[in-house]
Structure 1
Amino acid sequence: MDSESMVTNETSTSQSGLVRAEGLWFADGGLVIQAETTLFRVYRELLALHAVVFRDMLTIPTPDDAEVMEGCPLVRLPDNAEDTAYFLKALLYPQFFEPFPAPTTYPIVAGVLRMSHKYDVEALRKRALAHLSALFPTTLDGWDDVSLDPTFCDTLPSYLVVVILARQVDALWILPHAFYCLSREEDADKIIIHGDQGLELSAADKLACLSGVRTLETTSASEVLEFLYDPRHIPGCQTPAVCAEVRAKARFIAEDSRRYFRGNALDDVLPLNIWRHDDWSLLELCCRTCIAEMKVNHQKARQSVWDELPQIFGLSSWAELERMKAEALQ
């Protein structure tokens, strides 16, 4: 390669608007990566070792007219600079992105997951999926668990963003839970139809989500409240007249709470939370036999809704989704 060619293809780091990524510019690195206006100088051997796509890319001989920066090949990625930074830090700094249940944030998990899925870094992809799957469990017991990492939860954006991420990386077992969470957000219909943060659901997911919301707030919610009036007479009831009256009043209150007004959160009209722990105080005058039977029937109804959740949103069964999850995380 002659000196004129070297000058022509050398890109300067002082080029207007370009910045070096803090902690990801190594003077002895042999490869410069540009994502948006951010530059990363890293070790090409390390990338080739962990990322199949980079390995294939870097085994191709560098052409004489290839663009270089400070004597290193320059690779421009079409990816988000923040995602690229998280991905490279996860590769280079072991403590930056540790396996679940180590604390992390949603932006880190999402960035590492998108990049590791795209560039085929299996270990990081599994690690990111484990974090995301912990936030969106596939069981009702997991749904009821409130011990999730608060740092992760506090950085979670709109659930629409999670749905789109799950589609991008084929983490389909996330979708029933994420769709349900999206359905209970304020202005859920508006978000589902028009999108949020510059992102929008596919037409198929819009239809599935809107149809699912209607099923949840009508049929499914009614099924969960059936324990208040079915069976009408619970075998072994010790105070039939009192229990019947108390159950009827509780049913009226529960049904009245399903009234919807624009702008409110939908959690109180959707089945998994339409009857909360504190609501059992409405039935405190019922006999022990009735209370015990109603609690069993209520939980059975909630479990039935959970079991049907994938089909409600037009997805594969939990059994199939669990198979996908196990295969992806093994």
Structure 2
Amino acid sequence: MTEPRTKVADLWFEDGNLVIAAQSRLFRVHKGVISLHAAVMKDMLSVPQPAEQENLEGVPLVTLPDDECDMEHFLRAMYFPQTFLMIPSSGAWLRELLTDTSERATPLSFDVLLGVLRLSHKYDAPILRTHALRHLAAVVAGRKYGNLLQPPSVDLPVRTHESLAPLKALISFAREVHALWLLPHLLYWASHYPAQQLAVPQTWKGRQCQLSTIDLVACFAGYQHTIVGDPDIAPFKSDPCEVDDCLCNRLSPTHYKGHNRFLESPFTHSWVLVRESNDGMRCYGMRESAYRKWKGKMWAQIPAAYDLPSWDELKSMLCADLNMSAEDVDYFGFFGHWHRGHGIPVACY
């Protein structure tokens, strides 16, 4: 039995000359608008149609194999760009995703973002794809896109099985749309979860999230490289220093607790950098210097550890995908790029 189809009211234009069907939803739109934004759809519509083509209310009907929600978000971004302009201003959104598994709305629904990006990538809608990728970059990196090429500055707030599902979704999605420059941070964070949690499929926002074999191997290899396999892992791996009256000797239990936290998240281990907590430690300067040196060395090796392109290649991909110069990527994010007069990516709608 055929599932009944429903017209989407605000995407049903009486003067439209094309009806798009996606699963149970119907959209009456304009060929000119669709062709203006999506090159693949333009090519599809330019192919002569057979005389017996299906019609609805006298208008050609095209059935597409896409998810109905994705198609609705994609078309709505074309026709109502103001619904797609809001952008999170910091990485707080990602932390919110990981700590709140409810359906509470975020500044821009994650479903909207994924739907628009997935179909703009598939149907070659470059303006929407660029803007959607800027949204996604801001989710992970905050205001400054160049942060994606630097070690994480903050750790994830929790590491529960539930909080892993959004990471799996983001990793899989970055692969799907070829946004490999998102993966160093995402794979680094994911690699600190237990292996058995990484391997099992999960459901998040009604969709199954599962890491591919490539990403599972990358997580395991990356963890081995940064945590287990490096002989210089660290300033806090050794015993407390040999200076008798140094505070670190008197606080050795705290020292080892700090060491354990360090191993859990070495790039974002803030305790080592908080000078106030190290008053009296004569070895502090030496350990801090060693830590910074180690951090720089290890981050330079991250692409190879996770089987990704080099940092130079990732930066080139980032600049191309966000349609920004290397200078803007280094010094600005969405808001800086906007204020420098480059315009809002969807202003032409």
Match of 1:317 among 305, 310, 320: 310
Cross-structure match for 1:245: 249
Q: Deviations over 1:22-62 (max 9, x none)?
A: 42111221111111111111111100111101111112223
Higher gyration radius (CA) = 1
Shift of 1:120: 0.4
Equivalent residue of 2:61, what SS?
Answer: strand
What is the CA–CA distance in structure 2 between the aligned matches of 1:219 and 1:53, rounded to whole Å?
Answer: 46
For residue 157 of structure 1, report the CA deviation from its aligned partner.
5.1
Q: Does 1:21 align with 2:8?
A: yes
Structure 2 residue matching 1:272: 3-state secondary structure: helix
Write the deviation string for residues 67-115 of structure 1: whole angstroms up to 9, x where unpaired: 1111111111111111111111110012011175574232222111110
1:207: how far off?
1.7
Aligned amino acid, residue 55 of structure 2: V
Distance 1:21 1:156 in 2: 34
Separation of aligned partners in 2, 1:78 and 1:199: 20
Q: For 1:134 and 1:144, locate their aligned partners in 2 and report how far apart those are by CA, in whole Å.
A: 14
Give the direction of change, closer, same or farther, for the CA distance of 1:157–1:201 in structure 2 (3 Å limit).
closer
Rate the CA distance shift 1:73–1:305 in 2: closer, same or farther, 3 A.
same
| Structure 1 residue aligned with 2:234 | 225
**In 2 relative to 1, CA 227–105 (structure 1 residues): closer, same or farther, beyond 3 Å?**
same
Matches within 5 A, 1:70-109: 70-98=57-85, 100=87, 103-109=107-113
**Matched residue SS, 2:8:** strand
Query: Following TM superposition, by how much is the alpha carbon of 1:162 offset from its aligned partner in structure 2, in angstroms?
Result: 1.0
> How many residues get paired?
288
1:242-263 CA distances to partner (integer Å, 9 max, x unpaired)? 25624755543334x36xxxxx
Distance in 2, Cα, partners of 1:35 & 1:309: 41
Amino acid at match of 1:88: L
- How do 1:111-260 and structure 2 match up within 5 A? 111-137=115-141, 138-140=148-150, 143-144=152-153, 158-185=166-193, 188-197=194-203, 198-219=208-229, 223-226=232-235, 229=238, 241-243=245-247, 245-246=249-250, 248-255=252-259, 257=260
Distance 1:70 1:156 in 2: 47
Cα distance in 1 for residues equivalent to 2:132 and 2:322:
10
TM-score by structure 2 length? Answer: 0.72
Q: CA deviation at 1:292?
A: 3.7
Stretch of structure 1 that moved more, 201-210 or 317-326? 201-210
Q: Secondary structure at the match of 2:81?
A: coil
Taking the aligned partners of 1:156 and 1:47, their CA distance within structure 2 comes to 36
- Residues 303/204 of structure 1: CA separation in 2 closer, same or farther (3 Å cut): same
Is 1:30–1:44's contact at 8 Å kept on the other side of the alignment?
yes
Shift of the 201–317 alpha-carbon distance from structure 1 to 2, 3 Å rule, reads: same
Provide the residue aligned with 1:9 in structure 2.
none
- The one of the two structures with greater contact order (alpha-carbon pairs below 8 A, sep at least 6) is 2
Match for residue 236 of structure 1? none
Give me the whole-angstrom Cα distance separating, in 1, the residues matched to 2:81 and 2:173. Answer: 24
8 A Cα contact 1:20 1:38, kept in partner: yes
Question: Any unmatched runs of 5+ in structure 1?
Answer: 1-14, 147-154, 234-238, 259-266
Judged with a 3 Å threshold, the aligned counterparts in structure 2 of structure 1 residues 301 and 278 are, in CA distance, closer, same or farther, namely closer
Identity of aligned residues (%): 31
Q: Distance in 2 between matches of 1:276 and 1:22?
A: 55
3-state DSSP of counterpart to 2:26: strand
- From 297, 302, 315, the equivalent of 2:290 is 297
* Contact preservation (8 Å) 2:71, 2:119: yes
| Mean Cα deviation higher: 191-200 or 59-68 | 191-200
Query: Which letter does structure 2 place at the counterpart of 1:269?
Result: E
3-state SS in 1 of match to 2:234: helix
- Is contact 2:53–2:60 with CA below 8 Å preserved after alignment? yes
